[in-house]
Structure 1
């Protein structure tokens, strides 16, 4: 399975932008991507759309196919826990798991309470 490498994209965009002497704002104007989003791409904090990726490739003169890498299929739990792309995503995944555990505990307590109610009746 081939996936877009955020790291490879970030390194390529930063390197080529600097080689061409563009500021983030200038690159943003040329590609139609907000300069803040350019910065986020360079920090590996934003995944551009295909249209945006094509524009970056056109302006910076790189082949977008080179930004994709092979990735083996992995267990989704492992992928979520170990391959989060940034700190905010890691926090989101941790929060999701905590909510799932909390929900499971509530279900178990509710069942126990219902069973005790039936046995005492």
Structure 2
């Protein structure tokens, strides 16, 4: 399953597991409203929150973000820079995962107002 953003991934995994937003919120110490906003791509998910959510689904954060389909255009990404240097596709996927984790870390800073 490939999704466009982390909210879609969380929603799909939650539904696959057969739990409500309220139940996911209770298991992650987040409110149902926050889960709904994350799933609807109205709120960023912090790295800490992503770790807690991933644990509920019994996966790691790398796997959670691995469900996001790579964008077709990579103009402003690290991936483009590494691709230009001739890196193979397996390593490019790893660079993309690292980039997504950095994005989550920066989102966490924004959420906390740092």
Q: TM-score, normalised by structure 2?
A: 0.51
CA deviation digits over 1:5-46, x for unaligned, max 9? x94311221111111111111100000111111001111111
**Structure 2 residue aligned with 1:30, among 7, 14, 27?**
27
Q: Is the 8 A contact 2:5 2:41 kept in 1?
A: no
1:67-106 aligned at under 5 Å gives the runs 67=65, 72=74, 74=76
Structure 2 equivalent of residue 10 of structure 1: 7
- Tell me, which stretches of 5 or more residues in structure 1 are unaligned? 1-5, 75-121
Runs of 4+ in structure 1 deviating by more than 3 angstroms, as ranges, are 68-73
Q: What's the C-alpha RMSD, in Å, of the aligned pairs?
A: 2.5
- Of the three residues 40, 45, 57, the one matched with 2:42 is 45
Higher-strand-fraction structure = 1
Give the number of aligned pairs: 70
Q: Residue 48 of structure 2: SS of its match in structure 1? A: helix
> For the pair shown, which has the larger CA radius of gyration, 1 or 2?
1
Q: Which has the higher helix share?
A: 1
Larger RCO: Structure 1 or Structure 2 (Cα < 8 Å, ≥ 6 residues apart)? 2
> CA separation in 1, counterparts of 2:52 and 2:32?
14
Unaligned stretches of 5+ in structure 2? 77-114
Query: Matched residues in 1 for 2:9 and 2:26: separation?
Result: 18
Structure 1 partner of 2:18: 21
TM-score under structure 1 normalisation?
0.49
